[in-house]
Chain A
Amino acid sequence: MTDNVTTLLNSLPQLWEGIQTTLILTIAGSIGTIIIAIILGLAMTSPHGWMRIPARIIVEFFRGTSLLVQIFWLFYVFPLLGVELDPLMCGIGALSLNYGAYSAEVVRSSIKTVNPGQWEAAIALSLSPARRMIRVIFPQAWALMIPSLATLLIQLLKGTAVVFFITLSDLTDKIQQLRQSTGDTVFAFTVGLVIYFVIAWLIQELMNLLERQATKRLGRRRPNSRSDRREARRDARAESKREAGATTVPGPSSGNVGYGGAL
């Protein structure tokens, strides 16, 4: 075990290189994903068929074929067509297209679920279509779409592990090297999985932060936020105490609309 730890400490610089590759792919892929998702998602909500139909076809195409097929297509077939792509660009491109298509669906459904009254109000105030989308609809849809986007970005992080098939040396590749140098599969892969888990957790926290900001800008409370859940737990405990016959009962929490039930 101590041998393993020494080997791990010695290979930390290499491991860090792998983590950097994974992070570059994740960050660039996420940016690409969000850009593609917004373009395709907006196109899919368009009233014009000539925008909606091609967007729908692109989305179904990239959702229907597997990520690995797309990555291999970019890596092996594009050079035959005369387009040489750097492996890193292949990775980023395939990840953005694949997860962009999934996220486009999220963007579309979030825009559709914005209260129709908001659309009507924006039309009544005769805001131009672009202004209506940018100032009224999109900020509200954005708050709705962040939780689903967070899930998809974590999927993207997990998807980055395929790039070692196209000769990129990412975290997965470095874990393989660590496994070979320590000869201990369980140790090496546990280290690797924990690193991935920590990155995923960071993405989740970042997206929670974004969601808090987005809902705050709308002057709303984030649904099912951590403080809400804590309050709900406290209330449930107080409830069970009251049932058990305790004498001191803290008053019901205030300021939480969604919670309360039948009083």
Chain B
Amino acid sequence: MTWNWEFAVEALPILLQGFVNTLIATVVGTVIAAILGLLIAVAIRTLPRWINWLVRLLVAFVRNTPLIVQLMFVYFAFSDIPGLVSIPALAVGCIVIGIHYSTYMSESYRAGIDSVPPGQHEAATALSLPPVRTFTAVVLPQALRATIPSLGNYAVAMFKDTPFLFAISVVELVTSAKQFGGSTFAYTEAFTLAGIIFLAASYPTSLLIQRLDKRLATY
């Protein structure tokens, strides 16, 4: 193996530029997924039976099919519509990743809401709080406590899935590594550095989430 430090030093700024897109996709995707996931979890709890079944089928469908195929689907479907102002690939990527992970996060929210003791619900009803307020002021804050660590884990998983944006030509970390490798043949340096950057960002985050999990644990 020939490790060339010159190439490594040359590659680093290019990779970090790509890393910016990776971070944008992760952060925006997480925000979308966290909001949409909560909406799905609430919808599944409140909607009537038949729509509920449909929502659950859709959620299962999105969850059990590959993210890459979904990305290409949405990206190409939008670019097929004539006369539409072209949406940047990164925006499509953020939205699709957000939707994909919202199906996972809705499951965490569901578990979080289920973990709130039923007495809390009953007490709020006994105090004749309106149902919406019962949910937002009593159940949800307690549910979030149980949910946040697993949302964090999904955010890390999402971070590691952002290279799939490669499929719709977003230049993120791995794509920039591949481009650098393609132009200089320094694949070893480029991909190794890309791997190290991923590890350096995701491992401390998951350690932090573990600590958060311990701190927020109540029951």
Q: Which residues of A contact B (CB under 8 A)?
A: 60-61, 64-70, 72-73, 76-77, 80-81, 154, 157-162, 165, 172, 175-176, 179, 185-186, 189-190, 192-193, 196-197, 200-201
Contacts and interface: CB of A to CB of B under 8 A. Distances in A.
Contacts of A64: 198-199, 202-203, 206
A201 B1 contact: no
A81 B1 contact: yes
A192 B69 contact: yes
Residues of B in contact with A, size category = 35 or more
A60 B203 CA distance: 8
Interface stretch (B72-80, B128-136, B139-147): B72-80
Contacts of B80: 185
Interface in B146-192: 160-164, 166-167, 174, 177-178, 181, 187-188, 191-192
B108 to A, nearest CB: 13
B66 A69 contact: no
13 contacts: A66-B162, A67-B160, A69-B191, A73-B191, A76-B187, A77-B188, A77-B191, A157-B66, A176-B72, A185-B77, A192-B69, A196-B66, A197-B60
B195 to A, nearest CB: 4
B45 to A, nearest CB: 15
B64 interface: yes
B63 to A, nearest CB: 8
A157 B68 CA distance: 12
Contacts, number: 106
B77 A65 contact: no
A98 B65 CA distance: 18
Contacts of A66: 160-163, 174, 195, 198
A158 B67 contact: yes
Contact of A68 (B64, B72, B166, B203): B166
B61 A80 contact: no
Interface of B: 1-2, 60-61, 64-70, 72-73, 76-77, 80, 160-164, 166-167, 174, 177-178, 181, 187-188, 191-192, 194-195, 198-199, 202-203, 206
Nearest to A183: B80
Contacts of B187: 72, 76-77, 80
B65 A196 contact: yes
A69 B174 contact: yes
Contacts of A192: 69
A254 to B, nearest CB: 24
A162 B181 CA distance: 19
A190 B77 CA distance: 11
Given A68-B164, A158-B67, A76 B181 contact: yes
A65 B188 contact: no
Contacts of A81: 1, 188
Contacts of B76: 179, 185, 189
Contacts of B174: 66, 68-69, 72
A64 B162 CA distance: 13
Contacts of A76: 178, 181, 187, 191
Given A65-B199, A77-B188, A189 B72 contact: yes
A159 B206 CA distance: 21
A197 B61 contact: yes
Contacts of B73: 185-186, 189-190, 193
Nearest to A192: B69
Contacts of A196: 64-66, 69
B161 to A, nearest CB: 7
B164 A201 contact: no
A69 B163 contact: yes
A70 B161 CA distance: 12
B178 A161 contact: no
Contact of B64 (A160, A175, A200): A200
Contacts of A160: 66
B83 to A, nearest CB: 16
The 7 closest A-B CB pairs, nearest first, are A161-B66, A200-B64, A189-B73, A68-B163, A76-B187, A64-B199, A158-B66
